[in-house]
Every structure is written in C-alpha cells, then in structure tokens.
C-alpha cells in the first residue's frame, strides 16, 4: 500500500545535520514526505505542541503522531515501514556494534566539534587535539569491530551508521571555509577517507545543504557571535 504524501511530515531546519539524517532515511526507504522548515528563533504553535518536552528539530509526524530525537526517528523509520533497504544490520551482534558507535559519535565526537566552533586561538588548538583523539578511538574501534567491511554501507547502499556520521561530517569543507579546519587529515586520515566515500554517495550529495549556502550561513552566524 502506498503512503499518501502528507501523512508523513518532517519539521526541520536546513542547516541541521540531525534533520539531514531523517531526510536520508526517508529517501532511502522511498517514503514520500512533506518537509516543513521551522524558524527556531520563532517557533510555531504547531511545532511546540508536537515536541513540548524538547522543542527541537527534527520532529517526524506520522499519522498525526510525533516522534523526536534523530536516532529514535531512524529506528522508527526502520520498523514502521516494511520496505527495503534495511538501515540496520540483520544480525543482533552487528546491530549492537552499529548502535554503540552511533552513540559514541553523538555523545563524544559531535560535542567535540561544537567545542571547536565555540573557541578561539589556544583553546581551539586544544579542542581540535581533543577531538582528534576521540576520532582516533573511533577509527580504531570501527576497524576492530568491522574488519574488512564498511559499517557505513550495506553493499553499495547507505546504512544507519553512514547516515549518522555522514550528515555531520560530510560538510567538513564548508566548515573549513567558514569557521576553520576542525578535522586534520594528517591526524585522522581514515576517518576522512570514510567521510569522502560517503560524500561521493549520490543520495548524500543531493540531501546535504548546498555548499555555498552553508558557508554563507556559517560565516554569518560566526560574525554575529
């Protein structure tokens, strides 16, 4: 049975990597949806009623019921529609590993990027070094847990971990231009090579915010802080 457009609504903001995650998942599964750009400086009544606890994007509304938190939305999309491709591995052990590294990325690496963006000079140098160490742990852990295979793809198709990492990291060139280098290729060559492979995925290219537009927005935000 085909889902009617309008039964699935995604509230998001175009700069949010967390929202990109949800769009990638919906597109991969071939789920038609309506996208609503939310102005976070002036949140609509409707938006606040859908996510009263956190008041953040993304929020997915399906048949009038709302789901918040990007990783939870991804799991919901996986379970709520019986379409291929599968986002997560079939084997429970592999699934646990993929969830573990998605959690690690969100709890350790993403905050480390924010610290870099929010700091200057010596503090920023330290923040970049700290982040690089966390990325090293990620690199070693991924190689150990997924020997000889990419956990970011299921064959040729983007998977859960590729969606989670790619949404944040594939914009690194825009970040470099607007704010400054956050990931140094000499320090984390493996991570960057994985990110570059993700960048080459056509679906990623058409879903990520446009490079120049993002550079302009990030530069403007930096000037105003």
Partner 1 sequence: MEELKLLGAWPSIYCYRVIWALKLKGVKYEYVEEDLSNKSDHLLQYNPVHKKVPVLVHHGKPVAETSVILEYIEEIWPQNPLLPNDPFEKALARFWTKFEEDKSPAFFAFFRGVGEEQEKATKEAKQLLKIIEDHGLGEKKFFGGNKIGLVDLAFGWLSAWLEVMEEVVGIKLMEANSFPRLEAWNKSFKEEPMIKENLPDRDEMLPYFKSLREKLIASATT
Residue 14 or 146: the one with the smaller Cβ distance to partner 1 is 146
Residue 92 or 155: the one with the smaller Cβ distance to partner 1 is 92
Q: Does 93 bind partner 1 (CB under 8 A)?
A: yes
- Which range in 13-21, 38-46, 91-99, 194-202 contacts partner 1 by CB under 8 A? 91-99
Among 46, 48, 96, 222, binds partner 1 (CB under 8 A): 96
How near is the Cβ of 8 to partner 1 at its closest, in Å?
Answer: 13
Residue 56 or 124: the one with the smaller Cβ distance to partner 1 is 56
Residue 9 or 170: the one with the smaller Cβ distance to partner 1 is 9
How near is the Cβ of 112 to partner 1 at its closest, in Å?
Answer: 15
Helix (H/G/I), strand (E/B), else coil: 179: coil
| x-or-dash string of contact with partner 1, 99-118, rule CB under 8 A | xx--xx--------------
Q: Does 48 bind partner 1 (CB under 8 A)?
A: no
Cβ atoms of residues 173 and 211 within 8 Å: yes
Q: Does 79 bind partner 1 (CB under 8 A)?
A: yes
Largest CA distance in the chain: 58
Cβ atoms of residues 206 and 20 within 8 Å: no
Q: Does 67 bind partner 1 (CB under 8 A)?
A: yes
- For residue 198, give the nearest of 156, 148, 149, 143 by alpha carbon: 156
Pairs from 50-58 (Cβ < 8 Å, separation ≥ 24)? 50/11, 51/11, 57/11, 57/12, 57/13, 57/16, 57/18, 57/19, 58/10, 58/11, 58/12, 58/16, 58/18, 58/19, 58/21, 58/22
Among 76, 117, 146, 153, binds partner 1 (CB under 8 A): 76
Among 8, 17, 18, 62, binds partner 1 (CB under 8 A): 62
Q: What is the CB neighbour count within 10 angstroms for residue 148? A: 5
Q: Does 183 bind partner 1 (CB under 8 A)?
A: no
Quote the CA–CA distance of 174 and 218 in Å, as a whole number: 8
Cβ atoms of residues 198 and 162 within 8 Å: yes
Q: Does 52 bind partner 1 (CB under 8 A)?
A: yes
């Amino acid at each position: 049975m085909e889902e009617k457009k309008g039964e699935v609504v995604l509230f998001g903001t175009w700069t949010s990597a967390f929202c990109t995650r949800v769009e990638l998942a919906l597109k991969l599964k071939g789920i038609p949806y309506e996208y609503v750009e939310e102005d976070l400086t002036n949140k609509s009544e409707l938006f606040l009623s859908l996510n009263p606890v956190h008041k953040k994007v993304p929020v997915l509304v399906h048949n009038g019921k709302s789901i918040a938190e990007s990783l939870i939305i991804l799991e919901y999309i996986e379970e709520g529609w019986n379409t291929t491709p599968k986002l997560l591995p079939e084997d429970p052990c592999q699934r646990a590993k993929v969830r573990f590294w998605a959690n690690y990325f969100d709890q350790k690496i993403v905050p480390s990027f924010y610290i870099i963006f929010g700091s200057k000079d010596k503090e920023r140098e330290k923040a970049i070094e700290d982040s690089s160490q966390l990325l090293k742990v990620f690199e070693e852990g991924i190689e150990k847990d997924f020997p000889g295979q990419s956990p970011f793809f299921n064959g040729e198709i983007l998977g859960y971990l590729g969606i989670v990492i790619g949404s944040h990291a594939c914009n690194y060139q825009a970040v470099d231009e607007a704010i400054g280098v956050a990931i140094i290729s000499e320090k984390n060559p493996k991570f960057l090579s994985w990110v570059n492979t993700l960048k080459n995925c056509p679906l990623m290219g058409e879903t990520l915010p446009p490079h120049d537009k993002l550079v302009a927005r990030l530069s403007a935000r930096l000037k105003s802080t």
